[in-house]
């Protein structure tokens, strides 16, 4: 294992190490100064190889670049912004915004020393401020996988919780370090915080994050570690003996802590609704700092000024409508009919109440009798109209029975198939939407030697290209956003679309194109030309990735590997008049570039070069193809400026 970097070291001629902030099982975190952004502070994370390895392989760089594209999608003020990823001297680094604050683990240690654990009002505020952050990432199909007091920070500036250290990157490290084992794909998560399905089978869902968040809440409430609160024999949590909370909050946390994933809240909106509905028993929400809360405005005292009753309240109202685009500053709203709190003592002990009820019953009986007589009179031959007496009854509180919960059944998977026709040199576009349990199979006929291109736009859907034998077309044709490659067989190919796990529904647009038809069979009357000894050229396999320059920067570093018969394609969208630059900064072999216009034509002077810069004449998608006649690793700098 390589030693930590000392202060003063400058990486990429840009990031100056200030100090080592911490070190864990997956790597180290440094405080650094970004000299390209006026020495702005940033967090520089180095991922350290394990198991006696001295450095990461080229596969590591490829996987990190793929996962960096996922992290780049996350743009939320309570999540550190991802900036860049690069490799220096066989060391992998990830750059993110620096958070000036303290982790909830450190806060808990301070509270323990003072004998003052977190209160219910503080935990309510904490949950109301962190749930919109989870809603943001879950909407993009991203599961954090590693929620705990260590990975949530209280930011000093606005006193808001900030979610850090996404397990998606740690998952990549695990896959790199254990490539030959039979361990599940996702083994990330702290023992005690991660649910059983994540630790045992490697599966992670939105409910898995909510489980870990609930564990974090009870640890903060009780000051105890999970091992002291969880009964691993009966698979149940026993935490309420260490904390005093309202029954409503306890019910919310216990549901989120259910052992079976199907028994938990299935989405952030469900948990937010339950948390908001139980706020009548939660007391005021004065929390850790002084930021505005995201809870609904619910009165905490009765009209007489007495404290709220401790009798459980049943919330009755229309179905919950989740807030679209939940984010900071937005309210998690719930349409809940107000339910009056019961006064202390029995109503039968109050003689005035008994008298009022008797008078009310007498009036109701009188009205009923008058109605019967009126009905009989109306049945006679000469109906007479009798004016109705004007009777005013004081309205009493509405009592509505709680709706009987409808048992939920497991949703069966549904697969749709559609035959499509794509002619030689043609391309078609298909649009649609998929639910979480749906798969669509687009079937088309292909001939050996043709080149197929399938490209998705939109978020939340991935594609797999299946050959006539039912297997993926190659190793890069499974659950990707786009694939281009030669067809090795003649027969029916399938482009299979499926949603990203954790999303309820997703829209998509699919572009399909066929090029380079197989050679025609010669006419029987003509004498075919004698076969030549030349072997027809093999269409290269293209791995395509769309890149975006982070806001506030003018360049981005990408690293990967390439070899014969392969093209690593990076697509960047530009506006007319912008300046594009592409530079192979480092390579272990003869790596060259080719840049094409949105029309598909090669940019003048940008074929088989190591560096190109120029003003683009058109707006649209420009492709930067990285090629090599030998297996080689490379680092490419892509720059865009106005």
Q: Considering the domain boundaries, does residue 373 fall inside one?
A: no
Domain range spanning residue 47? 1-98
| Higher per-residue confidence, 99 vs 62 | 99
Q: Say how far apart CA 149 and CA 627 lie, in whole Å.
A: 45
The last residue of one of the domains, among 98, 114, 138, is 98
18 has pLDDT over 80: yes
200 has pLDDT over 90: no
Q: With pLDDT > 90 as the criterion, what percentage of the chain qualifies?
A: 26
Q: Considering the domain boundaries, does residue 120 fall inside one?
A: yes
The predicted pLDDT at position 488 comes to 85
Rounded average pLDDT over 254-279: 88
CA-to-CA separations, 445 to 168, 442, 490, 511, in angstroms, rounded: 37, 10, 8, 16
Question: For the whole prediction, is pTM greater than 0.85?
Answer: no
Please state, rounded to an integer, the average pLDDT across all residues of the chain: 74
The predicted pLDDT at position 299 comes to 32
The predicted pLDDT at position 530 comes to 58
| Higher per-residue confidence, 369 vs 48 | 48
Same domain, 36 and 108: no
Give the pLDDT confidence of 284-330 residue by residue, as tens digits.
333 454 333 333 333 333 333 333 333 232 232 333 333 333 333 33
Residue 64 binned pLDDT confidence (cut-offs 50, 70, 90): low
Which residue has 């209160």 as its token pair?
119
Same domain, 188 and 88: no
Structure tokens at 353: 């109440």
Q: Say how far apart CA 299 and CA 340 lie, in whole Å.
A: 11
Least confident of 3-12, 84-93, 113-122, 633-642: 84-93
217 has pLDDT over 50: yes
Same domain, 563 and 620: yes
Say how many C-beta atoms besides its own lie within 10 A of residue 452's C-beta: 23
Q: With pLDDT > 70 as the criterion, what percentage of the chain qualifies?
A: 67
Q: Are the C-beta atoms of residues 214 and 232 closer than 8 Å to each other?
A: no
We report the CATH number of the domain holding residue 65 as 3.30.200.20
| Higher per-residue confidence, 597 vs 405 | 597
Same domain, 282 and 157: yes
Same domain, 557 and 456: no
Q: Say how far apart CA 392 and CA 326 lie, in whole Å.
A: 46
The predicted pLDDT at position 456 comes to 87
Same domain, 231 and 115: yes
We report the CATH number of the domain holding residue 283 as 1.10.510.10
Give the pLDDT confidence of 521-542 residue by residue, as tens digits.
455 555 555 555 555 556 778 8
Give the pLDDT confidence of 594-607 residue by residue, as tens digits.
999 988 888 888 88
Rounded average pLDDT over 189-202: 83
56 has pLDDT over 90: no
We report the CATH number of the domain holding residue 429 as 2.60.120.380
Least confident of 289-303, 338-352, 441-455: 289-303
The predicted pLDDT at position 631 comes to 87
Rounded average pLDDT over 353-380: 54
Rounded average pLDDT over 23-44: 86
The last residue of one of the domains, among 62, 80, 98, is 98
Same domain, 616 and 601: yes
From 146, 150, 209, 625, active-site residue: 146
First CA to last CA across the chain, in angstroms? 43
Q: Are the C-beta atoms of residues 547 and 556 closer than 8 Å to each other?
A: yes
- 523 annotated active-site: no
| Higher per-residue confidence, 389 vs 593 | 593
Rounded average pLDDT over 430-436: 84
The predicted pLDDT at position 492 comes to 86
Q: Considering the domain boundaries, does residue 238 fall inside one?
A: yes
CA-to-CA separations, 64 to 87, 167, 174, 244, 567, in angstroms, rounded: 10, 13, 12, 45, 18
β-sheet bridge partners, residue 418: 442
226 has pLDDT over 80: yes
- Looking at the 3D structure of the chain, how many domains does it have? 4
Q: Considering the domain boundaries, does residue 47 fall inside one?
A: yes
The predicted pLDDT at position 290 comes to 38
Same domain, 146 and 88: no
CA-to-CA separations, 278 to 238, 274, 330, 336, 573, in angstroms, rounded: 21, 6, 19, 11, 48
Q: Are the C-beta atoms of residues 622 and 616 closer than 8 Å to each other?
A: yes
| Higher per-residue confidence, 492 vs 331 | 492
Q: Considering the domain boundaries, does residue 389 fall inside one?
A: no
Rounded average pLDDT over 225-241: 91
Same domain, 57 and 140: no
| Higher per-residue confidence, 454 vs 481 | 454
Rounded average pLDDT over 451-478: 84
β-sheet bridge partners, residue 618: none
The predicted pLDDT at position 557 comes to 81
Structure tokens at 526: 């003509």
β-sheet bridge partners, residue 40: 34
Rounded average pLDDT over 196-202: 82
Structure tokens at 374: 């009126």
The last residue of one of the domains, among 500, 515, 530, is 515
Structure tokens at 541: 């396999």
The predicted pLDDT at position 349 comes to 44
250 has pLDDT over 50: yes
Same domain, 289 and 144: yes
Q: Say how far apart CA 403 and CA 387 lie, in whole Å.
A: 39
Residue 239 binned pLDDT confidence (cut-offs 50, 70, 90): very high
Give the pLDDT confidence of 295-307 residue by residue, as tens digits.
333 333 333 333 3
Q: Considering the domain boundaries, does residue 536 fall inside one?
A: no
Phi-psi region of 126 (alpha: psi -120 to 50; beta: other; left: phi over 0): alpha
Same domain, 202 and 281: yes
Structure tokens at 516: 């380079």
Q: Considering the domain boundaries, does residue 193 fall inside one?
A: yes
Residue 351 binned pLDDT confidence (cut-offs 50, 70, 90): low
Three-class SS state of 54 = coil
Q: Are the C-beta atoms of residues 30 and 44 closer than 8 Å to each other?
A: yes
218 has pLDDT over 50: yes
| Higher per-residue confidence, 31 vs 475 | 31
3-state secondary structure 197-254: HHHHCCCCCHHHHHHHHHHHHHHHHHCCCHHHHEECCCCEECCHHHCCCCHHHHHHHH
Residue 435 binned pLDDT confidence (cut-offs 50, 70, 90): confident
Taken in order 291, 293, 297, 302, the sign of the CA dihedral is: negative
Residue 417 binned pLDDT confidence (cut-offs 50, 70, 90): confident
Say how many C-beta atoms besides its own lie within 10 A of residue 385's C-beta: 8
Structure tokens at 27: 């790597």
Q: Considering the domain boundaries, does residue 256 fall inside one?
A: yes
Same domain, 10 and 58: yes
């Amino acid at each position: 294992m390589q030693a930590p970097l000392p202060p003063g070291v400058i990486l990429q001629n840009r990031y100056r190490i200030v100090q080592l902030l911490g070190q864990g099982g997956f790597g180290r975190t440094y405080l650094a100064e970004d000299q390209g952004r006026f020495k702005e502070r940033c967090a520089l994370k180095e991922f350290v190889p394990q198991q006696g390895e001295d450095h990461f392989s080229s596969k590591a760089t490829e996987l990190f670049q793929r996962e960096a594209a996922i992290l780049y999608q996350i743009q939320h003020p309570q999540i550190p912004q991802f900036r860049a990823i690069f490799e220096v001297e066989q060391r992998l680094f990830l750059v993110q915004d620096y958070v000036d604050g303290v982790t909830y683990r450190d806060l808990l240690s301070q509270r323990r020393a003072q004998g003052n654990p977190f209160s219910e009002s503080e935990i309510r505020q904490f949950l109301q401020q962190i749930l919109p952050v989870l809603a943001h990432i879950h909407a993009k199909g991203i599961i954090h996988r590693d929620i705990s007091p260590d990975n949530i920070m209280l930011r000093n500036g606005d006193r808001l919780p900030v979610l850090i250290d996404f397990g998606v990157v740690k998952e990549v490290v695990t896959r790199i370090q254990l490539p030959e084992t039979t361990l599940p794909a996702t083994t990330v998560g702290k023992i005690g915080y991660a649910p059983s399905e994540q630790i045992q089978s490697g599966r992670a869902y939105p409910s898995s994050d909510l489980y870990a968040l609930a564990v974090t809440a009870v640890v903060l409430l009780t000051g105890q570690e999970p091992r002291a609160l969880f009964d691993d024999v009966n698979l149940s949590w026993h935490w309420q003996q260490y904390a005093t909370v309202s029954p409503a909050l306890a019910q919310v946390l216990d549901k989120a802590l259910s052992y079976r994933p199907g028994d938990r809240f299935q989405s952030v909106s469900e948990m937010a609704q339950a948390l908001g509905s139980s706020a009548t028993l939660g007391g005021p929400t004065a929390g850790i700092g002084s930021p505005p809360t995201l809870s609904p405005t619910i009165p905490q005292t009765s009209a007489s000024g007495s404290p709220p009753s401790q009798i459980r309240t049943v919330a009755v109202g229309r179905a919950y409508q989740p807030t679209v685009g939940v984010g900071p500053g937005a309210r998690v709203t719930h349409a809940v009919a107000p339910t009056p709190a019961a006064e202390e003592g029995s109503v039968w002990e109050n003689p005035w109440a008994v008298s009022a009820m008797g008078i009310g019953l007498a009036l109701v009986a009188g009205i009923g009798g008058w109605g019967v007589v009126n009905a009989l009179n109306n049945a006679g031959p000469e109906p007479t109209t009798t004016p109705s007496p004007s009777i005013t009854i004081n309205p009493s509180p509405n009592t509505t029975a709680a709706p009987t919960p409808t048992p939920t059944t497991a949703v069966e998977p549904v697969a749709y198939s559609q035959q499509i026709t794509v002619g030689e040199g043609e391309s078609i576009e298909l649009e649609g939407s998929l639910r979480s349990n749906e798969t669509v199979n687009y079937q088309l006929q292909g001939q050996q030697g043709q080149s197929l291109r399938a490209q998705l736009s939109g978020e939340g859907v991935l594609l797999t290209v299946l050959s006539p034998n039912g297997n993926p077309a190659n190793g890069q044709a499974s659950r990707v956003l786009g694939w281009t490659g030669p067809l090795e067989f003649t027969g029916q190919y399938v482009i299979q679309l499926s949603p990203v796990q954790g999303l309820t529904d997703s829209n998509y647009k699919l572009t399909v194109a066929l090029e380079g038809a197989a050679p025609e069979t010669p006419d029987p009357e003509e004498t075919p030309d004698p076969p030549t000894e030349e072997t027809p050229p093999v269409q290269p396999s293209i791995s395509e990735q769309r890149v975006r320059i982070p806001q506030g920067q003018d360049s981005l570093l990408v690293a990967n590997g390439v070899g014969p018969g392969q093209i690593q394609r990076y697509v960047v969208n530009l506006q007319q008049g912008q300046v594009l630059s592409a530079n192979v900064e480092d390579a272990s072999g003869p790596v060259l570039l080719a840049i094409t216009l949105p029309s598909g034509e090669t940019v003048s002077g940008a074929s088989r070069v190591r560096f190109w810069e120029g003003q683009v004449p058109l707006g649209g998608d420009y492709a930067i193809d990285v090629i090599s006649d030998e297996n080689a690793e490379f680092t490419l700098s892509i720059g865009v400026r106005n």
